[in-house]
Amino acid sequence: MTLSHDSGDYWETTGAARTFTHPLDPELLSRYFSPDDRILDYGCGYGRLLAQLAERGYRDVRGVEPSAALVDRGRKEHPELRITHFEEPPLPFADGAFDAALLFAVLTSIPDAEDREGAVAEVGRLVRPGGVLYISDVPLQTDERSVGRYRAQERETGAYGVFRIEDGGVFVHQSQESFHALLGRHGFTVETEERRRTPTLDGHTDLSMQVIARRTP
């Protein structure tokens, strides 16, 4: 779920017990993924999505996760899954080793811009040319509660859109333009984007986005 050094302690303690909420869209999966695809869930948490993919007949799925606590949880809850612990990129896979990858609520969990660049760069290395990246993330919100939180915490966090929730987790909401630019810098072109209401870890809902981006051939 997270690949940030800044909030690593959170994902080894409180965050490791959380139930993650961003849903897979069956229609997007059937349109862009094949059952024979080599699929990587980058920042897989405790393997929730890996288990769902396996149940749907995707045969070659594996996850990587930097939180040791989440990996331990995943191996207990889903011992049949392949979940690899790692601390930071690069991962021990060849360039273009995967046909597709997932980044589900990962970028929002990386408050440091340099770490976000590193995560997308590594996914860009691992997804083969012509392969796809399926992302679920949270852009900047426009509701009064969110805007008030951004403004109130901007001085503490150092950036508008970076905020801390009550249990200590630190998250970031980016503008759509920044998000698309980040993908573009690492070889991805957005093909489709959808919006939906998604529950948050602090008991609210945000307008999230689900994106399919293709690795430039």
Instruction: In whole angstroms, give the CA distance from residue 209 to residue 2.
Output: 17
**Smallest Cα–Cα separation from 214: which of 139, 138, 129?**
129
CB 44 within 8 A of CB 64: yes
**What is the model's pLDDT at position 217?**
85
Whole-number Å distance between alpha carbons of 14 and 123? 27
Question: Which tens digit of pLDDT belongs to each residue from 1-16?
Answer: 434 444 569 999 999 9
pTM of the model: 0.95
- Quote the percentage of the chain above a pLDDT of 90: 94
What integer is the mean pLDDT of 64-83? 98
From the list 154, 161, 197, the residue with the least C-alpha distance to 179 is 161
Q: What is the pLDDT of residues 138-176, one digit of tens each?
A: 999 999 999 999 999 999 999 999 999 999 999 999 999
Q: CA 54, 49, 174, 159: dihedral to nearest 10 degrees?
A: -140
Which residue stretches of the chain are H helix? Answer: 8-12, 26-32, 48-55, 68-77, 113-126, 144-157, 176-185
Phi first, then psi, for residue 196 (nearest 5°) are -160, 160
> 91-150, pLDDT tens digit by residue?
999 999 999 999 999 999 999 999 999 999 999 999 999 999 999 999 999 999 999 999
> d(Cα 174, Cα 161) in Å, to the nearest integer?
6
- What's the mean pLDDT when you consider all of the chain? 95
Q: For residues 110 and 43, is the Cβ–Cβ distance under 8 A?
A: no
The CA distance from 217 to 152, in Å, is 43
Of 202 and 33, which is predicted with more confidence?
A: 33
**Domains, the chain, ranges and CATH?**
8-141+175-215 (3.40.50.150)
What pLDDT sits at residue 164? 96
